[in-house]
């Protein structure tokens, strides 16, 4: 299955036009082969993907409570490009129009997320359930199915209820585990009869690292030596704690899912978002050896744990006491806790071995003992970067990443949840 974000489709059409210049006598070059469904096996799904906060808007309707990103973008507008999700693309009111656009594009699937505070405005069932919010997702899912589009539903796409952030720090606290399981179990019971593809967490590496180690995404926490604008946080510590609580929450949610009778016949996993790595200097054996370490930190951090039941050994060796430990029971629940590997792929980078990290200023990137480089030792860029792209395009990295996952994790089912640029 391939799920591509909506804006990418228009981009591909634009690139096709730009790549085929014409003069009065006709095309300069013969037309290239066009992408066709015939190039893919029968049953291959093409789709589009969104996240609730990015598209829904309507933050004051259906009794929706405030989410982490609502407060973050109000508190730090400069970090959100002075934008917010108050209206977004108004998907809440216009989803039927958008579904018709998907249908006109001949897509098979739609990846969406449920906004936790639209279901539980205050984060917990005991504090109230928004029946209007529950009904909105029923209506949305029903409309998709009516139009022949298969829903893929993400339980958590970074929109922690702000009430839980204020009460105990959200995913910084182990208290999130009980609350997340309750929320996940509720949506499984509510929608599990019609939704057969579930993602517990979207891009947990980005959520933990960008939100709690470098302060570039909500809630914007980090140490001042990483970003002077960060007012709170502890780099090199909090990202590991957040992921630890997130992974335990995942295991609890999966246990609830597998006990859900109406969910039978469905599948559940996590959407990972690793980069691929190439050696910065092919003549340097340390750069070559750093690739596996880089992948353990960006992918194995979560995928090793949900496959084998614990963190990669290299992370334990390097991070030491800053990396929390799982109990025997938690390891058992985490092992084989996914039915598929969700994969978001966008770009690749060069891995440059870091010889002497500064132990007084820990951070996730430094712990991996590498620096990410966009150019190699010979000053060549990895892939290409079209004018319309935010990141370098390196399709070979996609293939390499797929093979790496196949070989290391015993050929699991892989669902491509996002790709492009």
On the question of pLDDT at 148 being above 80, the answer is yes
Q: Quick one: average pLDDT of 259-272?
A: 98
- CB 179, CB 164: distance < 8 Å: yes
Q: Quick one: average pLDDT of 245-266?
A: 99
Q: How far apart are CA 214 and CA 42, in angstroms?
A: 43
pTM equals: 0.91
Exactly one of 56, 190, 203, 238 is catalytic; name it.
203
Q: How far apart are CA 76 and CA 49, in angstroms?
A: 27
Whole-number pLDDT of residue 33 = 63
Whole-number pLDDT of residue 51 = 98
- CB 351, CB 370: distance < 8 Å: yes
Q: Quick one: average pLDDT of 98-108?
A: 97
Whole-number pLDDT of residue 36 = 83
On the question of pLDDT at 2 being above 90, the answer is no
- CB 254, CB 338: distance < 8 Å: yes
162-190: pLDDT as tens digits: 999 999 999 999 999 999 999 999 999 99
Whole-number pLDDT of residue 209 = 99
Whole-number pLDDT of residue 355 = 87
- Reply yes or no on domain 2-9+42-276+388-419 having CATH 3.20.20.80: yes
**Three-class DSSP category at 348:** strand
Q: How far apart are CA 276 and CA 351, in angstroms?
A: 9
Whole-number pLDDT of residue 37 = 87
Alpha helices (H) in 368-419, listed in sequence order: 395-408
Whole-number pLDDT of residue 299 = 99
Confidence grade of residue 27 (pLDDT, cut at 50, 70, 90):
very low
Identify whether 418 is a catalytic site residue.
yes
Identify whether 203 is a catalytic site residue.
yes
Q: Which has the higher per-residue pLDDT, 69 or 18?
A: 69
Whole-number pLDDT of residue 248 = 99
Q: How far apart are CA 191 and CA 137, in angstroms?
A: 8
Q: Which has the higher per-residue pLDDT, 354 or 32?
A: 354
Whole-number pLDDT of residue 32 = 53
Q: Which of 23-27, 33-37, 345-349, 407-411 has the lowest mean pLDDT?
A: 23-27
Q: Quick one: average pLDDT of 225-239?
A: 96
CA 326, distance to chain mean position in Å, is: 23
Q: Which of 35-49, 118-132, 183-197, 294-308 has the lowest mean pLDDT?
A: 35-49
On the question of pLDDT at 19 being above 70, the answer is no
Share of the chain above pLDDT 90, in %: 87
Task: Respond yes or no on whether the N-terminal peptide bond of residue 197 is cis (omega within 30° of 0).
Answer: no
Whole-number pLDDT of residue 15 = 29
On the question of pLDDT at 31 being above 90, the answer is no
**Three-class DSSP category at 67:** strand
Whole-number pLDDT of residue 420 = 84
Q: Which of 36-45, 165-174, 364-373, 408-417 has the lowest mean pLDDT?
A: 36-45
Alpha helices (H) in 39-149, listed in sequence order: 52-55, 68-75, 91-104, 116-119, 131-146
310-325: pLDDT as tens digits: 999 999 999 999 999 9
Q: What is the mean pLDDT of the chain?
A: 93
């Amino acid at each position: 299955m391939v799920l591509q974000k909506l804006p990418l489709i228009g981009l591909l059409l634009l690139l096709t036009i730009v790549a085929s210049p014409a003069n009065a006598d006709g095309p300069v070059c013969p037309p290239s082969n066009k992408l066709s469904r015939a190039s893919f096996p029968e049953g291959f799904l093409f789709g589009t993907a969104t996240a609730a906060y990015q598209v829904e808007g309507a933050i004051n309707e259906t009794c929706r409570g405030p989410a982490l990103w609502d407060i973050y973008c109000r508190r730090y507008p400069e970090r959100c490009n002075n934008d917010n999700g108050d209206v977004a693309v108004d998907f809440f009111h216009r989803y039927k129009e958008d579904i018709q656009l998907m249908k006109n594009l001949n897509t098979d699937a739609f990846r969406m997320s449920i906004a936790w505070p639209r279901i539980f405005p205050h984060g917990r069932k005991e504090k109230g359930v928004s029946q209007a919010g529950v009904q909105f997702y029923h209506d949305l899912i029903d409309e998709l199915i009516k139009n022949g589009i298969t829903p893929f539903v993400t339980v958590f796409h970074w929109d922690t209820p702000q009430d839980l952030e204020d009460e105990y720090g959200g995913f910084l606290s182990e208290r999130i585990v009980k609350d997340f399981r309750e929320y996940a179990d509720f949506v499984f019971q509510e929608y599990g009869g019609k939704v057969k593809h579930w993602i517990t967490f979207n891009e947990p590496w980005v959520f933990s690292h960008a939100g709690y180690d470098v302060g570039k995404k909500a809630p914007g926490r980090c140490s001042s030596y990483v970003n002077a604008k960060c007012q709170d946080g502890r780099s090199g510590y909090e990202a590991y704690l957040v992921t630890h609580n997130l992974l335990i929450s995942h295991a609890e949610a999966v246990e609830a899912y597998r006990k859900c009778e109406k969910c039978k016949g469905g599948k559940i996993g996590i959407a990972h978002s690793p980069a691929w790595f190439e050696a910065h200097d092919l003549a340097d054996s340390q750069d070559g050896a750093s690739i596996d370490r880089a992948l353990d930190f960006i992918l194995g951090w979560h995928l090793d744990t949900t496959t084998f039941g614990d963190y990669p050994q290299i992370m334990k060796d390097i991070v030491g006491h800053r990396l929390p430990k799982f109990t025997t029971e938690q390891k058992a629940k985490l092992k084989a806790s996914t039915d598929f590997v969700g994969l978001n792929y966008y770009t690749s980078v060069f891995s440059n071995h870091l010889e002497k990290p500064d132990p007084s200023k820990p951070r996730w990137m430094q712990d991996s003992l590498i620096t990410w480089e966009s150019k190699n030792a010979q000053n060549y860029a990895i892939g290409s970067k079209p004018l319309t792209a935010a990141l370098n395009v390196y399709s070979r990295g996609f293939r390499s990443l797929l093979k790496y996952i196949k070989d290391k994790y015993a050929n699991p089912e892989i669902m491509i949840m996002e790709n492009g640029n």
